[in-house]
Chains A and B, each alone.
Chain A
Amino acid sequence: MSDKIIQIAEMNKWFGDFQVLKNINLEVEKNKKIVVCGPSGSGKSTLIRCINRLEEHQEGSIIVDGNELTADTKDIEKIRAEVGMVFQQFNLFPHLSILDNCTLAPIWVKKMPKKDAEDLAIQHLEKVQIADQASKYPGQLSGGQQQRCAIARALCMEPKIMLFDEPTSALDPEMIKEVLDAMVNLAKAGMTMIVVTHEMGFAKEVADEVIFMDEGMIVERAETKEFFANPKSDRTKLFLSQIL
């Protein structure tokens, strides 16, 4: 049991009257890489936003690293600190330099000494190959560089899980590759990752499993090879035929 880092059981979520997530059951083991795909509006983003409680679920349970997420979770910040997240729109802090973006949370949330935080940040920025831009501001970087900085920023908190919410959807085609490369390297280093993406090439290369969602439900979950070779449901087949 202990290597199940995320356990979601019978989870339901509504936005007003509209049910976005229906009866979600999902278990993720440590060091697994999961790709979530599906048409827009199918609840993929909402699902992973529920995992670090940027959205609240109404029914069922979500257990992240042994802590159940409920309305009265006092130390939700501690759980969030262990779950890194990368957003579609980067969401870097525009008033801080790249380096400060990366050191802000380690210094103030993890109480790390400034010197250590900066060393750590440079180390992670080097991994995503933008250490030379450290003193610039986000507005001066290209989209791809910003997204790689956002990955480094999340990694600086040394999370156990990384969530990616369509990290390449807002990028120009030629910048997608540099971001995907950074993600592939991260995957090879053994990070637990849940990635919402339409990049099927990335899924084939690194994912252990692929989840297909539609209308708020998990339609299909399979090993990557199996998923692409012979999808079971008709909805998946239709989706794959359109996207590939």
Chain B
Amino acid sequence: MNKLNFLQTDKNNLNTYLYTGVILVVLSIFIVFLNSFFNKDIISFLPGSISFFLPLILGFIGLHLIRIDYSSLKLLDSINKNINTNNFNAFLSLLIVFAVIKSLPPLLSWFIFDANIAGDSKDVCTGSGACWTYIKIWFNRFMYGMYPNAEQWRINLSFIALAFLGTIGFFATEKFKKYLTLYYVVVYPVIAFFFIFFFISGGPIFFDFSYGIIAAVISVIIGFFIPSKFKMYYFIIVPITLYILLKYVFFYEELIELGKLEALEWVETGAWGGLSLTFIVSFFCLIFCFPIGLFLSLGRRSDFPIIKYFSIGMIEFWRGVPLITVLFMSSVMFPMFLPEDMFIDKLVRVIIAISLFEAAYVAEVIRGGLQALPRGQYDAAKSLGMGYWKMHILVILPQALKLVIPGIANTFLALVKDTPLIFVVGLLEIVGMLNLAKTNPEWLGFAMEGYVFASVLFFIICYAMSKYSYNLEQKYKTER
């Protein structure tokens, strides 16, 4: 047997060092575990400060002993490589492990063991943990705001329909693949807008929506029999004609008034709220701010002075003002400049304001990508006979946008987390609803549960978005 040197571990006595080290580390973790979960201090016979530091010292010595290079044990090597590279890192790793063990019991007891979920009044919340009953009772409000309970199926149906229409791309056959971009950039946002505003709002305006849907379906069906040469004109003219016919000839407005046709109940946008409003605002702002930002970024690099200075002005103006003042202006000042009889819905104004605001940021992010492209790409595209738009759409933007996916994801995440600010104009999305609920005299004192609930929801949304952007990055990675 080789000589043991505990200051300088080596491979020859691998097992001796390994067993001693593992025992020490496990012992140290065990002491902390007992202390934290069962409140038992098995080393309390030692004097105060030593008993406090003993787990740390034991674990530290243990980790030092198992730090053996090229031990040919896979697990040991990976531990040494990742958390135990030197004394300092071993120390930090131990501290983190201890901190996690220490903080688990209070968290678990607050979230689960001491929490209440049964019952339907705050009287059941007697434990020291969270009162999930509060969330349960208010869940409907947190999701749908002041939207009437009986009509909430309309919100659900819209979201399900939009989610379904959004996944069409995965099922498209090869023949329709080339229309997908057009679909997602133009058709889908329009459908989404119709669904959300006409279907969720309801009221007489809902008929417009149903006429539109009927016109679209009929024209698509007839469209299959039209020779492809005329399809373009066909799809511009026929749906509009059908819509007008349906609206003014077949379904007289009087029918509605006579009560022969019943519209969906009208729900004004002020009553929308909760998580569904968060989704609506974020979704529209995302799909509107991106194209606006794209055009601003191209405009800023334009050779035409008017376009160039207009773009610079827009970008610098919107970047220079705080979002909260923009929202305030959009709801208070903006209507003053409109003619008396003109009315733009509050929610629409807010969406326009946030879209323009975020578009300025998106524009600068995209400009960064445009500047990162070498001049040779422009030269090559031009030398092949491409004009400005072909060059940008086919060559420049695909590369530039790919470069700025992380930056755009960043902006979009910030946008989603900025949506609670719309409370300044009286629209209550989920955080707004929380603030409202916590001031309810019957349910005072449960702000914590509400905010934890909202953070979890926001985290899920934002983490999903960030994952998705990462997937996009990987998907479009073609270099090397």
Contacts and interface: CB of A to CB of B under 8 A. Distances in A.
A137 interface: yes
B23 interface: no
B379 A93 contact: no
Given A94-B479, A95-B398, A52 B383 contact: yes
B54 interface: no
A139 B376 CA distance: 15
A157 B379 contact: no
A52 B476 CA distance: 32
B384 A80 contact: yes
B168 interface: no
A84 B374 CA distance: 20
Interface in A57-104: 77-78, 80-85, 87, 89, 91-95, 104
A80 B379 CA distance: 11
Interface in B390-411: 390, 394-395, 398-399, 402
Given A87-B379, A93-B377, A94-B399, A109 B384 contact: yes
B217 interface: no
A54 interface: yes
A153 interface: yes
**Taking chain B's interface residues, is the majority helix, strand, or loop, or is none over half, making it mixed?**
helix
Considering residues A49, A77, A150, which has the most beta carbons from chain B within 10 angstroms of its beta carbon?
A77
A125 B476 CA distance: 25
B383 A83 contact: yes
B395 A93 contact: yes
A108 B479 contact: no
Contacts, number: 72
A191 interface: no
A108 B386 contact: yes
Contacts of A92: 380
A80 B376 CA distance: 15
A222 interface: no
B385 A157 contact: yes
A153 B479 contact: no
B335 to A, nearest CB: 46
A80 B399 contact: no
Interface residues of A, number: 30
Contact of B385 (A54, A91, A109): A109
Nearest to A110: B385
Contacts of A150: 380
B177 to A, nearest CB: 12
A123 interface: no
A158 to B, nearest CB: 11
A38 to B, nearest CB: 21
B384 A104 contact: yes
Given A52-B383, A93-B377, A140-B480, A109 B399 contact: no
Interface string B364-377: 00000000001011
Interface string A134-146: 0001011000000
Contact of A139 (B383, B390, B480): B480
Given A95-B399, A95-B476, A95-B478, A89 B386 contact: no
Contacts of A130: none
B229 to A, nearest CB: 15
Contacts of B476: 95
A105 interface: yes
30 contacts: A49-B379, A54-B379, A54-B382, A77-B385, A77-B387, A80-B382, A81-B384, A81-B385, A84-B383, A85-B380, A87-B379, A91-B374, A91-B376, A91-B377, A91-B379, A93-B381, A94-B399, A95-B402, A95-B476, A95-B478, A104-B394, A108-B386, A109-B385, A110-B385, A139-B479, A140-B480, A150-B380, A153-B384, A157-B384, A157-B385
